[in-house]
């Protein structure tokens, strides 16, 4: 049996997926990617999970590819990282990145694939690929969907390290906080997400990917259909009834 490099903890309707390979700064080795793929697949298909949190142990969130493995010719299977990023992007459950420390290269791709990202203001980040003769190719798919294009151009091309404040300004992070505020901020976002109806959150994630589309008229046509479907759904009937009755909706976690 190999080492467990990815931990999954259930906290009510929240699943916390933790990269747990601090000995190599949570590098994306084949073993870690295989375990992360299995964990994310299980969590994103579990109807009991309403929100997923992605984080890591140690002072580094993720250092990117396992370069020792790559140099030995035993690089991770090429399909694993794209599949994991796709699972995160297309997860019907909201995904929050709890970025506990520094991140480089592929680690930034993981952050960008999440719906919301909270990181440390003093942590360092970097698209270091060009400095070792490669390119941020796979992670460009998630990062360029999230980041300001001008900031991405500069940071991709220079490989210059930057802090959490710059990461927030560039669009990679949503919040850049002091170390003592990391858990409080993430927990606050999770609480807000738990107030949303699960199916409605999934539909909202989909429309965030789909709009804007080919044109305004087509977007209105498709979104009118989505709106009509949601107003006719059982979730909407429960949500409206709860609002009128001034009570929590059925999906809202009970206090205590």
pTM: 0.95
pLDDT, residue 210, reads 92
**pLDDT tens figures, 165-199:** 999 999 999 999 999 999 999 999 999 999 999 99
**pLDDT tens figures, 224-250:** 999 999 999 999 999 999 999 999 999
Distance CA 64, CA 180 (A): 25
CA 246 to chain centre: 33
**pLDDT tens figures, 19-29:** 999 999 999 99
Cβ-contact 62, 104 below 8 angstroms: yes
Contacts (Cβ under 8 Å, ≥6 apart) of 146: 112, 171, 172
Q: Residues 134, 135, 141, 143: is their CA dihedral positive or negative?
A: positive
pLDDT higher than 80, residue 66: yes
Mean pLDDT of the chain: 94
CA 141 to chain centre: 13
Number of H helices, E strands in the chain: 11, 10
The secondary structure of residue 132, as a DSSP letter, is G
- Break the chain into its structural domains and give their ranges: 6-193, 197-245
pLDDT higher than 80, residue 73: no
Give the range among 4-8, 19-23, 76-80, 180-184 with minimum mean pLDDT: 76-80
Extended strands (E) in the chain? 6-11, 14-19, 51-56, 60-62, 95-99, 102-104, 116-120, 124-126, 162-163, 175-177
Is 9 catalytic? The answer is: no
CATH superfamily of 6-193: 2-enoyl-CoA Hydratase; Chain A, domain 1 (3.90.226.10)
b/e sequence 74-85, b meaning 16+ C-beta within 10 Å: eebeeebbebbb
Give the range among 54-63, 66-75, 181-190, 244-253 with minimum mean pLDDT: 66-75
pLDDT above 90 coverage of the chain, percent:
91
Catalytic residue among 129, 160, 169, 235: 129
**pLDDT tens figures, 83-93:** 999 999 999 99
pLDDT, residue 256, reads 55
pLDDT higher than 70, residue 9: yes
């Amino acid at each position: 049996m190999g080492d467990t490099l990815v931990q999954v903890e259930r906290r009510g309707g929240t699943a916390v997926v933790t990269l747990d390979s601090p000995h190599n700064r949570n590098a994306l080795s084949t073993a870690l990617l295989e375990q992360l793929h299995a964990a994310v697949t299980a969590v994103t298909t579990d109807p009991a999970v309403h929100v997923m949190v992605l984080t890591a142990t140690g002072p580094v969130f993720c250092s990117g590819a396992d370069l020792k493995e790559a140099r030995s010719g035993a690089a991770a299977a090429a399909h694993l990282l794209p599949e994991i990023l796709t699972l995160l992007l297309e997860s019907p459950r909201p995904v929050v990145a709890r970025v506990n420390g520094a991140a480089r290269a592929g680690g930034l791709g993981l952050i960008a694939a999440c719906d919301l990202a909270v990181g440390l203001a003093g942590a360092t980040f970097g698209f270091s690929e060009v400095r070792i003769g490669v390119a941020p190719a796979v992670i460009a798919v998630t990062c360029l969907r999230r980041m300001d294009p001008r900031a991405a151009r500069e940071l991709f091309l220079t490989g210059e390290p930057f802090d959490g404040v710059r990461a927030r300004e560039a669009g990679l992070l949503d919040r850049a906080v002091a170390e003592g505020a990391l858990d409080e901020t993430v927990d606050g976002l999770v609480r807000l997400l738990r107030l949303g109806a699960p199916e409605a959150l999934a539909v909202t994630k989909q429309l965030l990917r789909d709009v804007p589309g080919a044109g305004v008229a087509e977007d209105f046509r498709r979104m009118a259909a989505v709106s009509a479907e949601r107003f006719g759904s059982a979730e909407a009937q429960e949500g409206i009834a709860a609002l009128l009755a001034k009570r929590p909706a059925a999906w809202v976690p009970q206090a205590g």
